[in-house]
Homo-oligomer: A and B are copies of this chain.
Amino acid sequence: MVNNQPTKRDAHLNTPSDAPVIILVETSLAENIGMTARAMMNFGFTELRLVRPKCKWPNSKAINASSGAHSILTEAKIFKNTSEAVADLNRVGATTARLRDMIKPVKDPRGWAGVVRNSDVDLVRCGILFGAERVGLHNDDLALADTLIMVPTNPAFSSLNLAQTVLLICYEIRMASDVEIPSEIRRKGRGASLANQKEIIDFYEHLEEQLDKAGFLRVKEKRPRMIRNIRNIFNRALMTEQEVRTLRGVIVALTEKIRKP
């Protein structure tokens, strides 16, 4: 169905309100946050989120390293955990330097830029997660993403600087915005907008609460891994809002039998 109303956002990808959100998780070096802000502004990105930064914040070293991209730093929002930082996003990519033991689509920055390019900016907000300098993202953070992003580096020397990884991804998204890319399989319209992460995480928590009650997650040392595995299944499905509601109904149906056996 075509909507003839003016859209709330400019259709151009790189206007501030549409550009993907950059999310740095547990960054240690303020300089890297500053360089990230600079790289973002170089390619027209403005929204930075910091999850538990490991350096003092705000930080003059970050401001110096940003070479003038102050505004991104002063407007950066701080989050206690990654799930809050992705709550309003519909699609989440997670950068990783190595393939993890989880099943998830893997794209290079150009492939991810195609995802962003082909997403309807009025319906889909995208974000990209970047882990700490030495260890990268936790598996729990990766489980919040629908896609892993790997830069095809020299296998013998694969460790990219954090801000340089941000740069490559912002660069590719900008390049994609100027270049026509054949559209991917797109979700059908009519109210089938992708769920945001808050809706998805609420669903997970609902499911996990019921699984806890049922004793399914009782082996303590296995619990985190089981939760990740289950979340990863649903994450790959890129569910719509309606689908999340359906699955919540499924959980209620399966569990409420207790009350009316």
Q: Is there an interface contact between B107 and A250, defined as CB atoms closer than 8 Å?
A: no
Can you tell how many copies of this chain the complex includes?
Answer: 2
Instruction: Give the docked Cα–Cα distance between A106 and B183 (Å).
Output: 6
Contacts of A38 in B (CB 8 A): 161
**A168-B171, A214-B257 given; 19 more Cβ-contact pairs under 8 Å:** A38-B161, A42-B158, A42-B164, A43-B153, A67-B161, A68-B157, A101-B190, A105-B186, A152-B175, A152-B178, A152-B181, A164-B164, A211-B253, A230-B246, A230-B250, A233-B234, A233-B246, A236-B237, A258-B258
Which one of A69, A100, A159, A240 has the highest number of Cβ atoms from chain B below 10 Å of its Cβ?
A: A159
Give how many A residues have a beta carbon under 8 Å from the other chain's beta carbons. Answer: 84
Chain B residue at smallest Cβ distance from A45: B154
Instruction: Give the docked Cα–Cα distance between A214 and B100 (Å).
Output: 38
A11 is an interface residue with CB less than 8 A from chain B: no
Contact of A100 among B167, B188, B247 (CB under 8 A): B188
Q: Is there an interface contact between B35 and A161, defined as CB atoms closer than 8 Å?
A: yes
> 8 Å CB contacts to B: which residues of A203-237?
207, 210-211, 213-216, 226, 229-230, 232-234, 236-237
A187 is an interface residue with CB less than 8 A from chain B: yes
What string of 1s and 0s marks CB contacts (under 8 Å) between A103-119 and chain B? 10111101100000000
Q: Is there an interface contact between B106 and A153, defined as CB atoms closer than 8 Å?
A: no
> 8 Å CB contacts to B: which residues of A34-54?
35, 38-39, 41-44
Contacts of A256 in B (CB 8 A): 214
A254 is an interface residue with CB less than 8 A from chain B: yes
A135 is an interface residue with CB less than 8 A from chain B: no
A174 is an interface residue with CB less than 8 A from chain B: yes
Instruction: Give the docked Cα–Cα distance between A99 and B187 (Å).
Output: 9
Contacts of A182 in B (CB 8 A): 99, 106-108, 150, 152
Contacts of A157 in B (CB 8 A): 41-42, 68-69
Q: Is there an interface contact between A110 and B152, defined as CB atoms closer than 8 Å?
A: no
Chain B residue at smallest Cβ distance from A35: B161
> 8 Å CB contacts to B: which residues of A136-183?
150-154, 157-161, 163-164, 167-168, 171, 174-175, 178-183
